[in-house]
């Protein structure tokens, strides 16, 4: 009986403890840990990119968190006692550890607290996912020039500013750190983590082709094609490509080097092969039209082995259908059609060769 009463006493004591103690005493809230996913935020200080080395994040509660070590970019940061001592050209201030949070082994401070401690001014452009800070008149002037450049470009392209991208010219990731409008062209400046820059252009109604969003690049490298099986379409592949028509390959890896997609694959024979293909604005689209993602023979099981042999050799014969000619020779340069009571006549032109179909099958072909 005494043991039972003792258990009741312990239970009541712990219950009172949870009721009486302040919530933060029991468990510290960490907005970044509690956020659904990492949302990177780009920071500019005095008109220069600051977050390439020290990545900032936006938490689900709408607060921007900046690595506390970013203070070193504008002054000094020293760990003292139960916090930090910060010194900038504007002021000297103490930061308590209770005003910071730890995320993935890095100490963060809120954007608002960063401004207060540093004495800097700032503006948060949440529609761009970019925050600006400046510490003096020169910094304010550079920031204003940077923002005015962004405002000069069409609204459809402004969201690119501050984005992390993969530059085909630099062969590495970078950030859009400058934008300006030049007639029908939007000029952008890309800066890599090591400070190298390159100028690229966004063309009206076309978009950009010399860089891609970094998340598209990561999906391309790690997810999109690895282990995938494809069948070569030599009608669209470069003539220098070593694969033969309808050859099956299994992609081992893909990468981007010097404006080319580098593909490493295994042939049906088990032999390894490496080849390059032109890169596209979205690298995940590079394969479109160049390969079939299903075995064509399984899609058309009723076609004879003789027809497939001719197709693999890029040959045609009398009686072939539209689809069979498309597989063998690809899309024609132009077509014409006429219909009468006797039936339908189609003419497909491939260079100087005219292929005539009667009621959907090859009737004749000739060169002119």
Cα(82)–Cα(273) distance, integer angstroms: 59
pLDDT at 27: 43
Question: What mean pLDDT is predicted for residues 108-118?
Answer: 96
Range of the domain at 207: 153-213
Beta strands 211-213; 164-167: pairing state: antiparallel
SS (H, E, C) 130-175: EEEEECCHHHHHHHHHHHHHHHCCCHHHHCCCCCEEEECCCCEEEE
Residues 36 and 141 in one domain: yes
Q: 332-350 pLDDT, tens per residue?
A: 999 999 998 889 999 999 9
Residues 61 and 162 in one domain: no
Residues 159 and 69 in one domain: no
Question: Per the domain annotation, does 183 fall within a domain?
Answer: yes
Least confident of 24-28, 281-285, 299-303: 24-28
Residue 105 has pLDDT above 90, yes or no: yes
Residues 53 and 122 in one domain: yes
pLDDT at 207: 75
Structural domain count of the chain: 4
Question: Per the domain annotation, does 202 fall within a domain?
Answer: yes
Residues 320 and 277 in one domain: no
Question: Which pLDDT band holds residue 205 (cuts at 50, 70, 90)?
Answer: low
Give residue for tokens 């690595």.
67
pLDDT at 331: 96
Cα(142)–Cα(129) distance, integer angstroms: 19
Work out the burial of residue 80: count CB atoms within 10 Å of its CB; fewer than 13 is exposed, 13-18 middle, 19 or more buried.
exposed
Question: Per the domain annotation, does 5 fall within a domain?
Answer: no
Residues 107 and 174 in one domain: no
Question: Per the domain annotation, does 132 fall within a domain?
Answer: yes
Question: Per the domain annotation, does 362 fall within a domain?
Answer: yes
Residues 200 and 269 in one domain: no
Look at residues 146, 161, 179 and tell me which one is the last residue of a structural domain.
Answer: 146
Question: What mean pLDDT is predicted for residues 235-249?
Answer: 95
pLDDT at 286: 83
Residues 42 and 111 in one domain: yes
pLDDT at 280: 78
Residues 104 and 164 in one domain: no
Q: 261-290 pLDDT, tens per residue?
A: 999 999 999 999 999 998 877 888 888 889
Question: Per the domain annotation, does 338 fall within a domain?
Answer: yes
Residues 179 and 235 in one domain: no
Give yes or no for a contact between 232 and 251, defined as CB atoms under 8 angstroms apart.
Answer: no
Residues 289 and 308 in one domain: no
Question: Per the domain annotation, does 72 fall within a domain?
Answer: yes
Beta bridge partners, 182, equal 185
Look at residues 239, 268, 293 and tell me which one is the last residue of a structural domain.
Answer: 293
Helical pair 322-329 and 305-312, crossing angle rounded to 10 deg: 40
Residues 128 and 61 in one domain: yes
- The sign of the dihedral angle between the CA atoms of 48, 49, 54, 59 is positive
Q: CATH number for the domain including 324? A: 3.30.1450.10
Question: Per the domain annotation, does 316 fall within a domain?
Answer: yes
Look at residues 233, 261, 293 and tell me which one is the last residue of a structural domain.
Answer: 293
């Amino acid at each position: 009986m005494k043991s039972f009463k003792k258990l009741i006493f312990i239970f009541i004591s712990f219950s009172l403890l949870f009721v009486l103690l302040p919530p933060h005493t029991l468990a510290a809230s960490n907005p970044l840990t509690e956020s659904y996913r990492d949302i990177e935020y780009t920071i500019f200080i005095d008109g220069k990119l600051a977050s390439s080395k020290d990545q900032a994040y936006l938490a689900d509660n709408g607060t921007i968190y900046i690595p506390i070590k970013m203070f070193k970019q504008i002054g000094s940061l020293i760990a003292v006692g139960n916090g930090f001592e910060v010194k900038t050209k504007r002021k000297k201030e103490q930061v308590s550890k209770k005003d910071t949070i730890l995320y993935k082994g890095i100490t963060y401070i809120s954007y608002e607290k960063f401004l207060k401690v540093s004495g800097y001014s700032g503006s948060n452009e949440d529609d761009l996912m970019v925050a600006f800070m400046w510490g003096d008149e020169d910094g304010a002037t550079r920031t204003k020039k940077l923002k005015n450049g962004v405002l000069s470009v069409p609204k459809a392209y402004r969201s690119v500013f501050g984005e992390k991208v993969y530059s085909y010219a630099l062969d590495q990731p970078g950030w859009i750190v400058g934008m300006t409008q030049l007639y029908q062209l939007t000029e952008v400046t890309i800066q890599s983590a090591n400070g190298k820059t390159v100028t690229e252009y966004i063309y009206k109604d076309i978009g950009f082709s010399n860089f891609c969003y970094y998340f598209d690049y990561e999906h391309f490298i790690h997810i999109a094609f690895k282990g995938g099986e494809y069948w070569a379409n030599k009608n669209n592949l470069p003539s220098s490509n070593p694969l033969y028509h309808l050859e099956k390959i299994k992609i081992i890896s893909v990468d981007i080097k010097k404006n080319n997609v580098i593909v490493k694959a295994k042939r049906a024979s088990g032999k390894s092969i490496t080849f390059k293909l032109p890169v596209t604005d979205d690298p995940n689209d590079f394969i479109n039209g160049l390969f079939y993602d299903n075995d064509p023979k399984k899609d058309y099981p009723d076609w004879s082995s003789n027809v497939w042999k001719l197709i693999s050799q890029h040959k045609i014969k009398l009686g072939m259908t539209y689809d069979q000619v498309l597989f063998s020779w690809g899309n024609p340069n132009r077509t014409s059609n006429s219909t009468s009571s006797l039936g339908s006549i189609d003419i497909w032109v491939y260079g100087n060769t005219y292929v005539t179909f009667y009621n959907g099958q090859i009737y004749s072909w000739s060169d002119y």
